[in-house]
Amino acid sequence: MHNKRYPKVNYIGNKEKLADWICDYFPKDAESVFDAFCGGSSIGYEAKKRGFRVLSNDVLKINYFLAKSLIQNKTQTLDANDLEILFSSKPFKGFMYKNYGEVFFFKEECMELDLYRKNIEKLSCEYKKTIAFTLIRRAMIRKMPYSRFNLNWDKIKQLRDEEYSYEKYKRKRAYHNESFKSHFLQNLDAYNAAVFDNAKENIAYNEDVFELLPKLHADVIYLDPPYTGTMNNYHGFYSLVDEYIASKKLKPFDNNFREKKSALELFDKLFSNLSNYKYWFLSYNNNSYPSKEDLIEIISKYSKNIQVIEKPHNYQITGKDKKSTNTEYLFIVKNENYKAL
């Protein structure tokens, strides 16, 4: 077991607090884990620490960059020379300024982002670039009220007003007004220190899960799809960062588990595609759709060996001060039709 610390990522719906509980159930005969909806990579990171060969995937580019930096990357970190490259020269009016000035950030802040975006290209290797993007992401999240990019500008300005925030919530939340650079530097050591080699060839992917499932093999597949019927608009939350990376506007991705009317079909499609995986692990909860019973019915079409473990778990809902109380489910399925390669 590697003694490493997962850095502060702050991913909506993350499994950071459940990672030990989930990974403790991974079977003794398993050597590889495919984290197919990796999000902020909390499970992939824990599995990497435990010595598994980890495959990671997410449809969002920034999550792929996180996985590339923390899961696939073995040695590369950012040093003083890289920082000089990143923070040199003058802010200018680029993609962020033109499209998102006074939409998510102030105009001057957008110009800074445009400068960092350009400078990242000058870094000497892919891993350094992905780490830089993950640190810019962290800075963008810290400056954004509720840590998600689907608020309107009036609300953002109001919540970034420290006097208002203090009056209303008794917290100034001054970190929203600290610079990107300051947040970047505050998190740099933790992200650098989180890079390690577990002596396995870990790989990150950036595809729609349905494209990838038939192409890969692993002992365990861990499935943590968006929970249908909950706050789960991942395109809305985070695609701004993907647009920053691509320097262009992007359409929402398909197969997103948002709509109740297509959820049953998507789950069926998911389980019908898992023949390359010996054990299937699915996270879900009691406040989402479909129900535990419906999921068992779908899964049992493909394997009858199903166990459901339950645990009380509170998710902090961003933007609300109260927490919601849930029972978290972990479905553990042994694939009865699995044939080793």
Ligand X SMILES: C[S@@+](CC[C@H](N)C(=O)[O-])C[C@H]1O[C@@H](n2cnc3c(N)ncnc32)[C@H](O)[C@@H]1O
Interface positions with ligand X (CB under 6 A): 11, 13-15, 37-40, 42-43, 57-60, 63, 208-209, 224-226, 234, 255-257
Separation CA 153–CA 160 (nearest Å):
10
User: Minimum distance from CB of 96 to ligand X (Å)?
Assistant: 21
- Strands 203-205 and 53-57: what pairing? parallel
Separation CA 195–CA 332 (nearest Å):
30
User: Minimum distance from CB of 328 to ligand X (Å)?
Assistant: 12
Minimum CB distance to ligand X smaller for 86 or for 241: 241
Question: Tokens 């403790």 correspond to what residue?
Answer: 24
Q: Which amino acid is at 209?
A: V
User: Minimum distance from CB of 97 to ligand X (Å)?
Assistant: 27
- 199 Rama sector, left if φ>0, alpha if ψ -120 to 50, beta otherwise: left
Separation CA 54–CA 216 (nearest Å):
12
Question: CA-CA distances (angstroms) from residue 326 to 58, 166, 202, 234, 321?
Answer: 25, 30, 33, 20, 16
User: Minimum distance from CB of 98 to ligand X (Å)?
Assistant: 26
For ligand X, the nearest residue by Cβ is: 39
58, 38 Cβ separation under 8 angstroms: yes
Question: Tokens 């009317």 correspond to what residue?
Answer: 261
What is the chain's alpha carbon radius of gyration, rounded to the nearest angstrom?
Answer: 20
Separation CA 251–CA 247 (nearest Å):
13
User: Minimum distance from CB of 149 to ligand X (Å)?
Assistant: 13
Minimum CB distance to ligand X smaller for 33 or for 159: 33
Pull the structure tokens for residue 46.
């824990």
User: Minimum distance from CB of 228 to ligand X (Å)?
Assistant: 11
CA torsion through residues 306, 13, 34, 8, sign: negative
Question: CA-CA distances (angstroms) from residue 292 to 41, 68, 278?
Answer: 25, 33, 21
Minimum CB distance to ligand X smaller for 60 or for 70: 60
Minimum CB distance to ligand X smaller for 25 or for 166: 25
Minimum CB distance to ligand X smaller for 187 or for 256: 256
User: Minimum distance from CB of 211 to ligand X (Å)?
Assistant: 8
User: Minimum distance from CB of 282 to ligand X (Å)?
Assistant: 11
User: Minimum distance from CB of 37 to ligand X (Å)?
Assistant: 3
Minimum CB distance to ligand X smaller for 182 or for 285: 285
Minimum CB distance to ligand X smaller for 59 or for 96: 59
H-only helix segments in 51-152: 61-67, 80-86, 95-100, 107-120, 126-143
Minimum CB distance to ligand X smaller for 49 or for 160: 49
Minimum CB distance to ligand X smaller for 11 or for 100: 11
Question: CA-CA distances (angstroms) from residue 271 to 197, 212, 227?
Answer: 32, 13, 16
Separation CA 274–CA 4 (nearest Å):
31
